[in-house]
Chains A and B, each alone.
Chain A
Amino acid sequence: MSVTTARARTRRGWRSASTWFGAVIVAIAAVCAIFAPLLMPHDPFAQDLGKRLLVPFWMEGSNPAHLLGTDQLGRDYLSRLIYGCRISMLIGVTVSVVSGLIGITLGVLGGFLGGRADDAVLFAITTRLSIPVVLVALAVVGLLGSSMTLLVATLGLLLWDRFAVVARSTTMQVRNLDFVAAAWCAGCSRFRILAFEVLPNIASHLVVVATLEIALAILLEAALSFLGLGVPPPLPSWGLMIAEAKDYMFFSPWVIVIPGVALFVLVLGINLLGDGLRDTFGARSDS
């Protein structure tokens, strides 16, 4: 007998509030990403050395044309922030799609077929987990030069492990359920079972993983760009903005605070949304 106490009810309520908060953040980010050219007050690449390091609006002596101030080359911070949002979201989503395709395929095949195939998939996952991801990503970009395509491909080829693990475990659970056995008995081919019985039932878990992977990809890209081996300059990745501002952070701390806060809030929002989705779908096994 599970009795819903008042405490448990308020906890679920809190969950929804934070989930909605996350959803709002993600929505704002998506709007910024899609409508960036319309929302940016200035050209994010336009330099104006006469207007270097202007302060944001909450400090004395700010310029109303540049709400968040300018960076060390006179570029409008707000515009770069919005464009950076587009870059982060773009990378996050595309990496998630690539790694999702790889990971889900591997996980479903391993979980469904079992035996040798499963052993091979587990081996691949174990190997992937032992590879130092940041280092390898840095090495690839360092050796082959930075470009968006290369970055997405590299991260996509490195971040599929959680997809694979969750796809595999959920497929194994579903495979053992009665309705799959019923379909099998009814003469359905393995492909049909996979497509119509297994995949729809694991989809919700994978959506949760996808949101968390987007957040992870965004953080990784920021770290790589911070080290100068991520998104190619002059594209205003938030990580790159923080790196460029490092030399000035002692005198003008807002130059690293602003993009950092943006990064933090976006990742937090995505995580909250992912957690909320996980609670909605009742999937507790994905952490």
Chain B
Amino acid sequence: MSALLEIEELAVSFGNTAAVRGASLSVERGETHCLVGESGCGKSVTALSVMNLLAPGARRSAKRLAFEGQDLLGLSDSAMAHLRGNATAMIFQEPMTSLNPAYTVGSQMTEVLRRHRRTSQRAATDRAADLLARVGITAPGLRLGQFPHQLSGGLRQRVMIAMALMCEPKLLIADEPTTALDVTVQAQILRLLARLQRDLGLAMLLITHDLGIVARVAHRVSVMYAGEVVESAPTAELFAQPRHPYTQGLLRCVPVPGRIKRDEPLGSIRGTVPRIGPGFEGCAFRERCDWADETCRHAIPRHRASRDHGFLCRLPA
């Protein structure tokens, strides 16, 4: 059975800049797949290109981009619009500005359902209230009639999640949903997402830069660097046996209470993320890697450490 979402060799560029150069990952039904990487590595762009929500000047291409087996690349914008908010839903990083200030929470939620299904306003409102309760918002009836500016950041993000669930999507793409929130609220939202996923059998593609979140909620992880997915594995395996030098570097950078000794320097990866121009060949990490050599300038083969664990490095290590 094919995966719910399949991305193979996705490439996205804006003018002369290649934001994504070769991203491949797949999301199975009912699993949380985290796409992790630092700022500018192309993870948000990858998420946006699945839903085709990129800015007008973007060019998107892939060997395969399919949802439920259906090709997404050739889909017209109106056909894509029928999928959005419906079978696939997306929530974003900035809850403070992601809701229209001129309309009530209720009207913004019911319009999704009424757009994709034949429902009465009454039924849509009931479902909206139901979902608000599900995401942990008290007095949902009151909230439906309120405007976004009357809600806090955490509440707004819960509303966004509820709104995304209106049409019972199979896939939820969450682009750094907790980054803009307070730490305590972060934990609440993550717990909520995990619970919803279990209860609804939802598949989730969660974009984040925080390895802590990955450890907590992800079934599988894909690590992205400079526009490429460099390693992909089940979470436990990635943390236990990271194969790509970048992943290894990342894990070294995370201080673990209890394991790190006093006066021990914090881990870091030397160098900075390179600017990738057109016609770049080979491994993007080679300048910062302790094991790089001449062959790293040429195309890197994809290795498999096990059936589910792939990585882009010449080292079998």
A interface residue numbers (CB < 8 A to B) = 1, 3-5
List the 7 closest pairs (A to B, CB-CB), nearest first: A3-B14, A3-B15, A5-B57, A5-B15, A3-B17, A3-B57, A4-B15
Q: What would 8 A/B residue contacts be, using CB atoms closer than 8 Å?
A: A1-B17, A3-B14, A3-B15, A3-B17, A3-B57, A4-B15, A5-B15, A5-B57
In Å, the complex CA distance between A1 and B40 comes to 10
How many Å from the CB of B13 to the closest CB on chain A? 10
Interface residues on B, range: under 10
Contacts of A1 in B (CB 8 A): 17
CB distance from B278 to the nearest CB of A (A): 14
Q: Chain B: which residue is nearest A6 at the CB level?
A: B15
- Whole-angstrom distance from the CB of B14 to the nearest CB of chain A? 5
Query: Can you name 5 extra interface pairs (CB under 8 A) apart from A3-B15, A3-B17, A4-B15?
Result: A1-B17, A3-B14, A3-B57, A5-B15, A5-B57
How far, in angstroms, from A3 to B17 measured CA to CA in the complex? 9
Q: Nearest Cβ in chain A — how far from B27, in angstroms?
A: 27
CB closest residue in chain B, given A8: B57
How far does the alpha carbon of A88 sit from the alpha carbon of B15 in the complex, in Å?
A: 48
A5 closest partner in B (C-beta): B57
The CA-CA distance from A4 to B14 in the complex, in Å, is: 10
Complex: chain A residue closest to B58, CB-CB = A3
Chain A min CB distance to B59 (Å) = 12
A3: which B residues are within 8 A, CB to CB? Answer: 14-15, 17, 57
A46 to B57, CA, bound (A): 64
CA distance A3 to B45 in the complex (A): 15
Q: Give the nearest-CB partner of B19 in chain A.
A: A1
Complex Cα gap A3–B15 (Å) = 8
Query: Which residues of B have CB within 8 Å of A5?
Result: 15, 57
* Minimal Cβ-Cβ distance residue in A for B17: A3
In the bound complex, residues from chain A placing their C-beta under 8 Å from that of B14 are 3
**Could you tell me the distance between the alpha carbons of A3 and B14 in the complex, rounded to whole angstroms?**
8
CB within 8 Å of A: which of B1-40?
14-15, 17
Closest to A7 in B: B57
Contacts of B57 in A (CB 8 A): 3, 5
Q: How far is the CB of A40 from chain B (nearest CB, A)?
A: 55
Cα A1 to Cα B57 in complex, Å, equals 13
B52 → A minimal CB distance (Å): 19
Closest Cβ of chain A to B85, distance in Å, is 27
Q: What is the minimal beta-carbon distance from B239 to any residue of chain A, in angstroms?
A: 32
> Which chain B positions have C-beta within 8 A of A4?
15
List B261-309 residues whose CB lies under 8 Å from chain A: none
A79 → chain B closest CB, angstroms: 55
Which of chain A's residues have a CB closer than 8 A to the CB of B15? 3-5
Distance between B226 CB and nearest chain A CB, rounded to angstroms: 15
Nearest Cβ on chain A to B308's Cβ, whole angstroms: 34
Q: Which residues of A contact B17 (CB under 8 A)?
A: 1, 3
What is the chain A residue whose CB lies nearest that of B15? A3
CB of B45, distance to nearest CB on chain A (Å): 11
- What's the minimum C-beta distance from B110 to chain A, rounded to whole angstroms? 36
Q: A1 vs B14: C-alpha distance in the bound complex, in angstroms?
A: 11
A7 to chain B, nearest CB (A): 8
- Chain B 34-76 interface residues, beta-carbon cutoff 8 Å to A: 57
A12 CB, min distance to chain B CBs, angstroms: 16
What is the CA–CA distance of A5 and B17 in the complex, to the nearest angstrom?
Answer: 11
Measured between alpha carbons, how far is A101 from B57 in the docked complex, in Å?
A: 47
CA distance A3 to B57 in the complex (A): 9
User: How distant is the Cα of A90 from the Cα of B15 in the complex, in angstroms?
Assistant: 50
CB distance from B181 to the nearest CB of A (A): 24
Closest to A4 in B: B15
**A138 CB to closest chain B CB, in angstroms?**
43
What separation, in Å, do the CA atoms of A165 and B57 have in the docked complex?
38
How long is the Cα–Cα vector from A33 to B227 in the complex, in angstroms? 62
A9 CB to closest chain B CB, in angstroms? Answer: 11
Cα separation A1 to B18 with both chains bound (whole Å): 13
Q: Closest CB-CB distance, A2 to chain B, in whole Å?
A: 10
Separation in Å of the B144 CB from the closest CB of chain A?
37
Output the nearest chain A residue to B40 by Cβ-Cβ distance. A1
Most buried by B among A1, A3, A4: A3
Bound-complex Cα distance A1 to B44 (A): 13
Bound CA span A5–B16, Å? 10
Q: Which residue of A lies closest to B16 (CB)?
A: A3
Q: Nearest residue in A to B55 (C-beta to C-beta)?
A: A3
**Nearest-CB distance from A153 to chain B (Å)?**
47
**Nearest Cβ in chain B — how far from A225, in angstroms?**
47
Distance in angstroms between the alpha carbons of A142 and B17 in the assembled complex? 66
Give the docked Cα–Cα distance between A32 and B17 (Å).
Answer: 51
- Binary interface encoding of chain B residues 159-177 relative to chain A, with 1 for a CB under 8 A from any of its CBs, else 0: 0000000000000000000
Among residues of A, the one whose C-beta sits closest to the C-beta of B57 is A5
Q: How far is the CB of A200 from chain B (nearest CB, A)?
A: 36
Instruction: Give Cα distance in the complex from A5 to B59, angstroms.
Output: 13
Q: How far is the CB of A168 from chain B (nearest CB, A)?
A: 28
Q: Whole-angstrom distance between the alpha carbons of A181 and B17 in the complex? A: 40
Rounded to whole Å, the gap between the CB of B193 and the closest CB of chain A is 29
CA distance in complex: A155, B83 (Å): 62
